[in-house]
Structure 1
Amino acid sequence: MPKNLIKRFTPNHETIRNHKHLRVFGQLLHDPNLWHMNRRSVAGAFAVGLFWAMIPMPFQMVAAAATAIPTRVNMPLSVALVWISNPITMPPMFYFNYLVGTWITGEPAMNGHFELTMEWFTQSMGNIWQPLYLGSLVCGVIAALAGYLGIRGLWRMHIISHWKNRRANK
């Protein structure tokens, strides 16, 4: 069942509540709806987590938690999904987002010497920030929509399969 598979890979309530960056939310973390595993909350969590994973910013986990609380989707899953953008996946993801942004704005992509250093990034940020963030926003919305619809569809297919198996076993 997808619920058990998802529960196996998500952190528990106490880990999230005691995380040093998430303590800011205090009593808001005690809402039971943030911990439910149902089709709506898991699909919403995928949308929230995938959206924030595409946005280049520090503390993506805090942004995902801050979005999960008012939308009342599964917070541990939202927070865990932002780790799709990790130090290994960030360069290709954000470069792709930058290329999408340059394609949308119609400006040429920067063809120059690229170094994966903080110095290069701070010097080049003035030239790349607009297409990078526009592309990240577009890719984030597309990833969120695909994640939401994909999980809703997979969950529904699983339930239908379960019903068919139950009818066949009668």
Structure 2
Amino acid sequence: MAKKLFKRWSPDPATIKEHKSLQFLGHLLHDPNLFHLNRHSVSGAFFVGLFTAFLPTLGQMPIAALLALFCRVNMPIAIALVWISNPLTMPAIFYATFELGQWLLSSPPVSFSMEMSWEWFRSEFPNLWQPLLLGSLITGVVMGAVGYFAMQVFWRWQVMRHWEQRKAQRLARQEAEQNQQD
């Protein structure tokens, strides 16, 4: 069931391998683990995708793709999970990670007002980057680990459930055959 669910939403590997903008990767995209749907590949993709989603940087999707290549995990799932931090959720996520980083560094509270200008970025960001980066990295590792282990447990539960269903069907068939013989 878990494999069917992911397979339904995953893009075709041949389409990805033949995409013009990805030709520079050459043979790296031909690693079968990048598109396999097994417990380890999907769990690893959850770690990579969730970790990358909490990085306070632009280009999270290419970063997730490169990490998936390096870790040899399912690339489409890793890239899709990056969208947990989207333009609607980013302010809340990065504010929370900044607060966590500030708490971990035991730094005094910093009051600032957000302004979308280059001048604000140059003057305020040097004071904010350390707590933001620390909080983001720790949150990314923790959420990635939670996603990894949750997927391991979910996948194992699905396999056990299917085994039990097949066992029950086999026993029902055997009982039906036994009743027919009697």
For residues 99 and 84 of structure 2, what CA distance do their matches in structure 1 show? Answer: 19
Task: Compute the displacement of 1:68 (Å).
Answer: 1.1
Alignment CA distance shift 1:93-1:24 (3 Å): farther
Alignment CA distance shift 1:163-1:55 (3 Å): same
List structure 1 segments (4+ residues) > 4 angstroms apart after TM superposition: none
- Structure 1 counterpart of 2:98: 98
After superposition, where does 1:74-89 map in structure 2 within 5 Å? Answer: 74-89=74-89
For residues 10 and 40 of structure 1, what CA distance do their matches in structure 2 show? Answer: 16
For residues 56 and 16 of structure 2, what CA distance do their matches in structure 1 show? Answer: 22
- Structure 1 counterpart of 2:2: 2
- Structure 1 counterpart of 2:174: none
Task: Compute the displacement of 1:15 (Å).
Answer: 4.9
Q: Which runs of 5+ in 1 are unaligned?
A: none
Task: Compute the displacement of 1:149 (Å).
Answer: 0.1
After superposition, where does 1:64-83 map in structure 2 within 5 Å? Answer: 64-83=64-83
- Structure 1 counterpart of 2:123: 123
Alignment CA distance shift 1:23-1:109 (3 Å): farther
Task: Compute the displacement of 1:23 (Å).
Answer: 4.4
Alignment CA distance shift 1:83-1:150 (3 Å): same
- Structure 2 counterpart of 1:162: 162
Aligned residue type for 1:88: L
Identity %, equivalent residues: 47
For residues 46 and 166 of structure 2, what CA distance do their matches in structure 1 show? Answer: 29
Alignment CA distance shift 1:113-1:44 (3 Å): same
Larger Rg: 2
> May I ask how many residue pairs the two structures share in their alignment?
168
Task: Compute the displacement of 1:145 (Å).
Answer: 0.2
- Provide TM-score, normalisation by structure 1: 0.90
Task: Compute the displacement of 1:11 (Å).
Answer: 2.9
- Structure 1 counterpart of 2:144: 144
Task: Compute the displacement of 1:25 (Å).
Answer: 2.3
- Structure 1 counterpart of 2:12: 12
Alignment CA distance shift 1:8-1:128 (3 Å): same
Aligned residue type for 2:132: L
Alignment CA distance shift 1:32-1:53 (3 Å): same
For residues 50 and 158 of structure 1, what CA distance do their matches in structure 2 show? Answer: 22
Greater mean deviation of Cα atoms: 149-158 or 77-86? 77-86
Q: Which runs of 5+ in 2 are unaligned?
A: 171-182
Task: Compute the displacement of 1:70 (Å).
Answer: 2.4
Alignment CA distance shift 1:135-1:9 (3 Å): same
Give the alignment's Cα RMSD to 1 decimal: 1.7
For residues 109 and 12 of structure 2, what CA distance do their matches in structure 1 show? Answer: 43
